[in-house]
């Protein structure tokens, strides 16, 4: 499809926006009027700049408060339209977006609206321009696409058609199914927007909180499917008003935007194998992932020694040294931790930039090459590390923020990769084993402008689905937290964003850069046994107030013996209808990173987020 | 009155909150339950800490989802209440806040609610505790104070009364007039909250956007008046859920909180001179202010020379040197600019911290001592500068962020202050005079967490009233802009906040600190003459795109000759029903500060804010 984006969706000057859009591979733009009004150049100059960048100007927008107007406003608006048509001719923009009237002066008379739009279309036709009419969700008399379509039908002019925007339909919970029966050639333009589900005034929602398809909660794929079933073959475009995108570096936004369209096309394609009116993007399928094989830390010699002490307290034993690099492998249960202190390596670069921190995750995957193919098709970068003789090349990609995700072949089994790359020699510290079994989840600390980026990346590239978005109170500001996971829950990430600059999460970020691993949760079968063993090994846990347990007993029906054990051990508790979650946090080490130990009971499917304030308050009181 | 504040209103650990609240002079607190649950100490320890700080614990809150419940939930809740009563006895909290039920399990049966609350009150009475029932605006069956009062009356228990919160009444646009007829001793507790008028879900509004009285748009004084007319004599308290307060340093928040109560009491007092059931705070009245007499810049020798060149290009002449300090006076029309390069002075301290910047404003005032008295009563700091022989001592206060506001006696006339402190010697540069007449307004660049602080400061201390709050698009994020002015509009300030870290406004702030003067608008009688003269003097203006004028002509009916003159001169235009505003911005100098030249026509009462995006886009394209 012809892929386009409205200039209002990105930060920067108009010229910077165009360059970012072109670099991300778009075909065209919607020109947001304010961007042109403040542009220091003529329409003809803009035409030349966009053409040089390989972009078309697909739409001039918006033209407001036109239809259903009394005189003298109507003829004044026609005059205004002629001036905008002058510009459109000069810049080579073939279509104007006319959005439904919000003026208190407008009258509720679809026949009048149709007649006036006919007149507008007639004037546009004289210059071979076209007019698209769009129902705004907060339009005074026309707020649904069905109403707009009735007016367009009644106006009955070849140069007048419908513009659809998924936000206006889905925000009002209107049913998009009727779109499929509109003639495809009368749909002149398509704008796709997603959004989080928010209980707020639709205008404010629309102006501040839209997001790219795949970043929000709307059924954008279902909407797009109906438009394709109508036979639409025009541009696929994004018009996203978002306060955070207004300040995000526009090169990143443009990549996210392109990824969102590719994701949307590929998802819709799976529903449309019978009809294919346009060519939809077709990447390799989402890989089948089955949990984390390893977590790799970037370190230098000194911090590698500190980490070694720490992970041994957690019950890990050192089981190997890398064949060619200063890299050490630790294991407990099925968990592999790698400490990479190799000079001149990727890890060392991360260490120098961010201190001791996680620099890579190893994800088990049935077909690593297909996974990398999917990722690069979805505009992620492939990463190739230098490999020594007889070592395995594990394909990797760069995640947003710069860490690596390696795809470890399932076929290697639990030990294949490590046998190939490491000289295995157990340090005999197995007596410390505390019963940690698997990596339950990895929590990331993200800068505010990276949450949408990560939701889309994990969805489009890794096939994970986001869960509920929660707000948690740190003593110094709010944290937004959202889990993403694959279908069988073998791979779980938690995305945490600090809305404040003063929380511990934000301060960790300022040390380690956005996109850092914030903590690592490891699972066990019996948290009391494991916690006792870890304490005996020297692990220190964040202490929890007695008041927490007094309150817990008033909220949840818990056996007194269990409550007493939790109080004694400092274990936190959450319950859902599906099951329970018992967990405990270690004190943080260098850079703010810490571990969580968790026991899931039944089919509990969350992350104990409601207990995070108890941890954050405890950390703040130290 | 007994002044109290809920711990949820401030950032920090519970201990830090208590210390900030005590330092600001509060008498008591409402203890927000989560603060206690995460507190590492017992109820008895908390009692001792608060008592040592001179604070009482006035309310334990909230107790949720109690009334109108079926079994077994009701008896489970009673059990929960007993456990909370245990805590309240131990910490010495005499009252619990029970807010109206939001549970889907609750039934709409006021008689049942009354009977259940009676039972709760009876149990409280056994321990000599009291229960306050409050209608939440989003309560399932009880959302209005009138409904809650009917239930309290029906329950008819001496230990059960009503808790009022202005937010819940004013957010629903419910009429507070009925409060006056409720017996004052059945109102057990009063929470006062203000809020900006927002079109959003009331729960989200309440949880994230409340503000202190005087910071928002509600008629909080009118609400408070009704409560006082009822004969209420209990605590006056603040329960403010605000995302920004959660991260603002709590010492500042606590001072704002106290100022808001003092402001509220003093405003209400003026409406209640007939009945005075409680003693209300009574500060000196708001001073009569009449515009800015001077603006003072902090500089060193080098930047003083740069400023001298710049202001001469603006048509100012140097008319005096200070008798005892390295301070120079410039004048044009009635505008006095002071450049202070005195070593070891307050100004030098500001220069060293923030570079060349405005460090003080001189406000003309009929009674400066009363103005300072008002300010200190409202918890602003007085500032005394060293004064040389025969020089005038002009009383001054410290504004939020650290700049000074001097109160210049009206009685000194236009020149009295300057004759006393300066050796007047005109540099003869009067030929440069460009017709600048007065200081139209001063625009401040504020950090996000300072906007509410400034709205309250200017209202309570200076008697200014805020205007409309606007959001403006900079190419790198949104700017929120709000004017504050006195009644005769002789004193106008504009408060600008960058919601993004990447706008020019935000970057200026990071250089000069929050609360910096961002630009200075000077008025003239004929902007075309003045702009021509300024250009001839060498002043450079921010260029405006031709496209702006093309669009302006389609939006507003302007005589073609006027439009042509504006286009030629680069003058921006705004029109309101009351009049027109013509203005132009200079390029910025060191530190980002710039000047605006403005001509008001008729009774135009705003600041041309809608043209700010044209300026910001132009600056970004340089």
In order of start, what are the domains of chain A with their CATH numbers?
3-271 (3.20.20.150), 289-429 (3.10.180.10), 434-621 (3.10.180.10)
Residue A388, pLDDT > 80, answer no
Instruction: Give A 235-274 residues with CB within 8 A of chain B.
Output: 243, 246-247
Q: Burial code of A304-324, b = ≥16 C-beta within 10 A, e = fewer?
A: beebbebbbbbbbbbbbebee
Q: How much is the pLDDT for B238? A: 98
CB distance from B64 to chain A under 8 Å?
Answer: no
Q: Distance (Å, rounded) from C-alpha B345 to C-alpha B353?
A: 13
The arithmetic mean of pLDDT across residues A34-61, rounded, is 97
- Give the per-residue pLDDT at B514: 57
Q: What is the pLDDT of residue B278?
A: 84
A500 near B CB under 8 A: yes
CB contact under 8 A, A243 and B84: no
Helices A504-512/A612-621 angle, 10° precision: 80
Contact B246 A553 (CB under 8 A): no
Interval A536-557: pLDDT, tens: 999 999 999 999 999 999 999 9
The Cα–Cα gap between B385 and B365 comes to 19
C-alpha to C-alpha distance for A267 and B468, rounded to whole angstroms = 45
What percent of chain A has pLDDT above 90?
87
The reply to whether residue A551 touches residue B621, judged by beta carbons under 8 angstroms, is no
Nearest to B500 among A34, A247, A499 (CB): A247
Residues sharing a CB contact under 8 Å with residue A52, sequence separation 6 or more, in sequence order: none
Assigned token pair, A172: 């009002």
From chain B, pick out residues whose CB is under 8 angstroms from the CB of A16.
Answer: 475
pLDDT band at A392 (very low <50, low <70, confident <90, very high): confident
Distance from CA of A127 to the nearest CA of B (A): 19
Spatial distance between the Cα atoms of A169 and A184, rounded to a whole number of angstroms: 18
Residue with tokens 């009925």: B178
- Identify the residue whose tokens are 């008001």: B600
**Residues of B numbered 366-425 whose beta carbons fall under 8 angstroms of chain A's beta carbons: which are they?**
none
| pLDDT for residue A512 | 61
**Tokens found for residue A402:** 């710069």
Number of H helices, E strands in chain B: 20, 25
Contact A36, A6 (CB under 8 A): no
The CA distance from B51 to the nearest CA of chain A, in Å, is 20
CB contact under 8 A, A243 and B499: yes
pLDDT at A96: 98
By CA distance, what is B11's nearest residue in A? A476
pLDDT tens per residue, range A112-137: 999 999 999 999 999 999 999 999 99
Tell me if A40 and B621 make a contact (CB, 8 A cut-off). Answer: yes
Interface test with B, best of A31, A63, A242, A476 (most B CBs within 10 A): A476
Contact A303, A404 (CB under 8 A): no
Chain A residues close to B547, C-beta within 8 Å: 36-39, 42-43
- Of the partner residues B40, B475, B543, the one whose CB lies closest to the CB of residue A11: B475
Question: Mapping DSSP to helix (H, G, I), strand (E, B) and coil, where does residue A222 land?
Answer: helix
Whether residue B156 contacts residue B126, with contact meaning beta carbons closer than 8 Å, is answered with no
Give me the residue from B15, B502, B551 closest to A247, CB to CB. B502
Whether residues B247 and A502 touch (CB distance < 8 A) is answered with yes
Mean pLDDT of the residues in chain A = 94
B280 neighbors B1 (Cβ within 8 angstroms): yes
Looking at the complex, report in whole angstroms how far the Cα of residue B427 sits from the nearest Cα belonging to chain A.
Answer: 40
- Strand runs (DSSP E) across A394-504, as ranges? 396-398, 404-409, 422-424, 436-446, 465-474, 477-485, 492-498
Distance CA B570, CA B563 (A): 10
The answer to whether the CB atoms of A243 and B87 lie below 8 A apart is: no
pLDDT of residue B513: 61
Would you call A38 and B613 a contact, using CB atoms and an 8 Å cutoff? yes
Tell me the residue ranges of DSSP E strands in B169-303: 187-191, 236-238, 289-298
Residues contacting B491, CB < 8 A, separation 6+ = B289, B290, B291, B292, B363, B462, B464, B485
- Judge: A545–B33 Cβ closer than 8 Å, yes or no: no
Q: Do B37 and A614 touch (CB under 8 A)?
A: yes
Residues 6 or more apart whose CB falls under 8 angstroms from that of B55 comprise B18, B21, B22, B26, B27, B28, B29
CA gap A96, A170 in Å, rounded = 23
Identify which of A156, A283, A274 has the alpha carbon closest to the alpha carbon of residue A225: A274
The two three-digit tokens of residue B421, written as one number: 């402190």
Which residues in chain A have Cβ-Cβ distances shorter than 8 Å to B84?
554
CB-based contact, B42 to chain A, within 8 Å: yes
Q: Which of residues 86-105 of B touch A (CB under 8 A)?
A: 87
The pair of structure tokens assigned to B139 is 């309560």
Shortest distance between the Cα of B404 and any Cα of chain A, in A, equals 28
Which chain A residues contact residue B545 at CB under 8 A? 37-41
pLDDT at B510: 64
Query: Which residues of B fall within a CB distance of 8 Å from A546?
Result: 42
Nearest CA in chain B to A250: B476
What's the CA gap between B308 and B329, in Å, rounded?
Answer: 10
How confident is the model over A213-252, as pLDDT tens digits? 999 999 999 999 999 999 999 999 999 999 999 999 999 9
Q: Which residues of chain B have pLDDT under 70?
A: 274-277, 510-515
The answer for B 183-222 residues in CB contact with A (under 8 A) is 198-201, 203-204
Would you list the DSSP string of B400-435?
TTS-EEEEEEGGGTTTHHHHHHEEE---S-GGG---
> Is B236 strand, coil or helix?
strand
- B589 in contact with chain A, both atoms CB, cutoff 8 A: no
Cβ contact A42–B546 (<8 Å): yes
Q: How far is B475 from chain A (nearest CA, A)?
A: 5
Min Cα distance B481 → chain A (Å) is 16
The answer, for B75 touching chain A at a CB cutoff of 8 Å, is no
Residue-level pLDDT at B414 = 87
Q: What is the pLDDT of residue B428?
A: 86
B613 CB within 8 Å of a chain A CB: yes
User: Does position A102 have pLDDT exceeding 70, yes or no?
Assistant: yes
Q: Is the backbone peptide bond immediately before A325 cis, with ω within 30 degrees of 0?
A: no
Is the pLDDT assigned to residue A19 strictly greater than 90?
yes
The shortest CB-CB distance from B40 to any of A36, A41, A618 is to A618
Facing residues of A237 across strands? A4, A191
Averaged pLDDT, A61-85: 96
State whether residue A293 sits within 8 Å of chain B by CB.
no
Determine the residue among A44, A204, A473, A551 to mutate to test chain B binding: the one whose Cβ has the most chain B Cβ atoms within 10 Å.
A551
What is the C-alpha to C-alpha distance for residues B158 and B186, in angstroms, rounded to an integer? 8
* Minimal CA separation from B517 to chain A, in Å: 23
């Amino acid at each position: 499809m012809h892929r386009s984006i409205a200039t209002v969706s990105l930060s920067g000057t108009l010229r910077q926006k165009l360059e970012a859009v072109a670099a991300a591979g778009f075909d065209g733009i919607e020109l947001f009027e304010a961007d042109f009004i403040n542009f220091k150049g003529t329409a003809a100059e803009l035409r030349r700049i966009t053409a040089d960048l390989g972009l078309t100007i697909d739409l001039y927008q918006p033209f407001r408060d036109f239809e259903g107007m009394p005189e003298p406003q109507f003829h004044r608006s026609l005059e205004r339209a002629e001036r905008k048509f002058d510009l459109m001719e000069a810049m080579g923009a073939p279509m104007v977006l006319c959005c439904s009237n919000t003026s208190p002066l407008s009258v509720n008379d679809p026949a009048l609206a149709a007649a006036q739009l006919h007149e507008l279309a007639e004037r546009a036709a004289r210059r071979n321009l076209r007019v698209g009419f769009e129902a705004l969700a907060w339009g005074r008399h026309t707020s649904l696409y069905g109403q707009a379509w009735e007016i367009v039908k009644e106006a009955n002019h070849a140069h007048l058609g419908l513009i659809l925007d998924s936000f206006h339909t889905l925000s009002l919970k209107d049913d998009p199914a009727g779109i499929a029966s509109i003639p495809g050639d009368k749909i002149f333009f398509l704008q796709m927007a997603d959004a989080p589900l928010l209980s707020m005034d639709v205008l404010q929602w629309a102006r501040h909180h839209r997001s790219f398809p795949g970043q929000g909660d709307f059924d954008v794929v279902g909407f797009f499917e109906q438009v394709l079933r109508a036979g639409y073959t025009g541009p696929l475009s994004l018009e996203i008003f978002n306060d955070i995108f207004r300040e995000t570096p526009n090169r990143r936004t443009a990549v996210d935007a392109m990824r969102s369209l590719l994701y949307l096309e590929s998802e819709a394609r799976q529903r449309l194998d019978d009809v294919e009116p346009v060519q939809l993007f077709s990447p390799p399928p989402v890989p089948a992932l089955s949990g984390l094989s390893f977590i790799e830390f970037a370190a230098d010699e000194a911090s590698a020694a500190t980490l070694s002490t720490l992970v041994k307290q957690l019950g890990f034993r050192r089981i190997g040294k890398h064949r060619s690099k200063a890299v050490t492998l630790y294991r407990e249960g099925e968990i592999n931790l790698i400490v990479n202190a190799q000079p001149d390596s990727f890890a060392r670069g991360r260490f120098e930039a961010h201190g001791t921190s996680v620099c890579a995750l190893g994800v088990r995957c049935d077909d690593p090459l297909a996974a990398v193919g999917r990722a690069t098709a979805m505009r992620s970068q492939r990463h190739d590390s230098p490999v020594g003789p007889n070592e395995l090349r594990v394909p990797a990609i760069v995640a947003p923020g710069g860490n690596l995700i390696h795809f470890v072949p399932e076929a290697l089994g639990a030990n294949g990769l490590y046998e190939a790359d490491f000289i295995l020699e157990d340090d005999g510290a197995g007596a410390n084993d505390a019963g940690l079994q698997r990596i339950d989840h990895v929590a990331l600390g993200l800068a505010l402008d990276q949450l949408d980026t990560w939701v889309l990346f994990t969805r489009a590239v890794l096939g994970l689905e986001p869960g509920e978005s929660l707000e948690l109170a740190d003593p110094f500001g709010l944290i937004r937290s959202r889990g993403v996971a694959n279908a069988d829950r073998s791979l779980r990430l938690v995305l945490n964003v600090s809305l404040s600059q003063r929380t511990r999460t934000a301060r960790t970020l300022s040390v380690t850069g956005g996109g850092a691993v914030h903590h690592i949760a490891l699972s066990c079968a019996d948290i009391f046994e494991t916690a006792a063993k870890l304490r005996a090994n020297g692990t220190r846990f964040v202490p929890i107030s007695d008041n927490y347990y007094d309150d817990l007993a008033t909220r949840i029906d818990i056996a007194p013996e269990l409550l007493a054990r939790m109080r004694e051990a400092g274990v936190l508790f959450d319950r859902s209808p599906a099951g329970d979650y018992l967990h405990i946090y270690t004190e943080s080490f260098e850079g703010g990173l810490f571990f969580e130990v968790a026991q899931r009971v039944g089919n509990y499917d969350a992350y104990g987020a409601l207990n995070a304030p108890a941890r954050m308050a405890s950390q703040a009181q130290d």
